[in-house]
Amino acid sequence: MNKENKVTGSNSLGVVKTQSFSFDSLKLESGEKFGPVSLAYETYGSLNKDKSNAILITHALSGDAHAAGVHEGQDNLGWWDEFIGPAKAFDTDKYFVICSNILGGCKGSTGPSSINPKTGKPYALDFPLVTINDIVNAQKRLVDYLGIEKLLSVVGGSMGGQQVLSWLVNYPKNLRSVVPIATTIKHSPQQIAFNEVGRQAIMADSHWKGGNYYEAQAPSKGLAVARMIGHITYMSDKSMAEKFGRAKKGAGEHFKFTADFEVEGYLRYRGDNFVKRFDANSYLYITKAMDNFDASRGRRFEEVLEGTKVKVLVISFKSDWLYPAYQSKEIVKACKLAGVETTYCEIASTYGHDAFLLEVEEETHLIRHFLKKMLYAYEVTGDYGA
């Protein structure tokens, strides 16, 4: 399959709007009651009469509610625009697609940079240590608010995939299917280690000041370095070699440690851009939530899945070394042992972990047919609650 089917104007969603949903409080996994909570969200397509065509998209570490289309007067497409729209993987002529910014984020949902109503100042480190399950519990409140009892599917890659697994474990009765992509039941020491280096880079920045930087300069250098490390782990050796080689940037500054190589320039550019749109404290909280997540809750994952009627499509990528295929196979193995109807595909991509955003053709094929089957099965059986 070729990868030339890029986004065109004809099947783009056009202008979309971010909305907000607030509720008084959320009981966190820690037992603490936290609130008020606001979630920024977007929806695409329309909910059908019996509310059976709703799909929740869960975003990755640096994602947000803006998954598709463009905002009024702006031209930046949503982070998964190539997958969401008319005739795309998530065909908005058929499905009602929801995406919300996670709890703890910094793109419109309540997070450490939000104002604490008790103090009138940003929470900073007074923000509670939220978990992936807390993030999902907040999403469940949004889905309830939208009047949807049973989602056709929950789909996401990377940390989005962790949320998908949390949905599968916590709300199987409210789901018909899930699609965890390039994700894991729990982080390996290597994954925790990379996140820890990112956190250390932020906290080592003198501007971080224990998280209380909102009235002064942000720890941009630290956050940029964290992002640079992230980007290295999202690519593969091969995709880096193909993208940059050992090419050097043109003439310019004459400093010994200037960014000579293209790859250096790219990482700096990515790092510098990221700090304009992301909060350093959010980065700390979210990466910690990812590291702490364990969908198996200390048991064997197949025991947790036992008896579920939810259908599963697992996707991994051959060159992904951050969330290697073996971690997806562990999910598949548990599904096998639990007798869950499952499909698994390891796409032969060279893009590394980034592949889940880039392998449009292959993923679209898998997702489109899988969703079609789900919707068809619903129409045939009329089954609301399995």
Contacts with other proteins, residue ranges (CB under 8 A): 1, 329, 332-333, 336-337, 339, 341-348, 362, 365-366, 369-370, 372-373, 376
Shortest spacing between CB 189 and other proteins, in angstroms:
24
Tokens 């104002």 identify what position? Answer: 115
**Smaller CB separation from other proteins, 136 or 314:** 314
Question: What tokens appear for 315 in the block?
Answer: 């996707």
SS3 (DSSP) at 133? helix
Shortest spacing between CB 8 and other proteins, in angstroms:
23
Residue 157: enclosing H or E segment and its boundaries? strand 153-157
The one catalytic residue in 81, 279, 294, 320 is 320
**Smaller CB separation from other proteins, 159 or 355:** 355
Question: What tokens appear for 220 in the block?
Answer: 């941009």
Q: Determine the length of the chain.
A: 386
Tokens 């509670």 identify what position? Answer: 128
Residue 131 in contact with residue 293, Cβ under 8 Å?
Answer: yes
- Indicate if 354 belongs to the active site: no
**Smaller CB separation from other proteins, 286 or 367:** 367
Tokens 């004459």 identify what position? Answer: 254
Spatial separation of the C-alpha atoms in residues 347 and 359, rounded to whole Å: 8
**Smaller CB separation from other proteins, 274 or 323:** 323
Residue 104 in contact with residue 286, Cβ under 8 Å?
Answer: yes
Dihedral angle computed from the Cα positions of residues 202, 204, 206 and 211, in that order, rounded to the nearest 10 degrees: 50
Tokens 């009981």 identify what position? Answer: 27
Within 10 angstroms of residue 302's Cβ, the number of other Cβ atoms is: 17
Spatial separation of the C-alpha atoms in residues 234 and 54, rounded to whole Å: 30
Spatial separation of the C-alpha atoms in residues 329 and 181, rounded to whole Å: 11
Shortest spacing between CB 109 and other proteins, in angstroms:
34
End-to-end Cα, the chain, rounded Å? 36
Spatial separation of the C-alpha atoms in residues 17 and 144, rounded to whole Å: 20
Shortest spacing between CB 332 and other proteins, in angstroms:
6
**Smaller CB separation from other proteins, 184 or 342:** 342
Shortest spacing between CB 302 and other proteins, in angstroms:
9
Residue 246 in contact with residue 264, Cβ under 8 Å?
Answer: no
Shortest spacing between CB 365 and other proteins, in angstroms:
6
The one catalytic residue in 158, 236, 319, 328 is 158
- Indicate if 353 belongs to the active site: yes
**Smaller CB separation from other proteins, 51 or 336:** 336
- Indicate if 320 belongs to the active site: yes
> Which of the residues are catalytic?
158, 320, 353
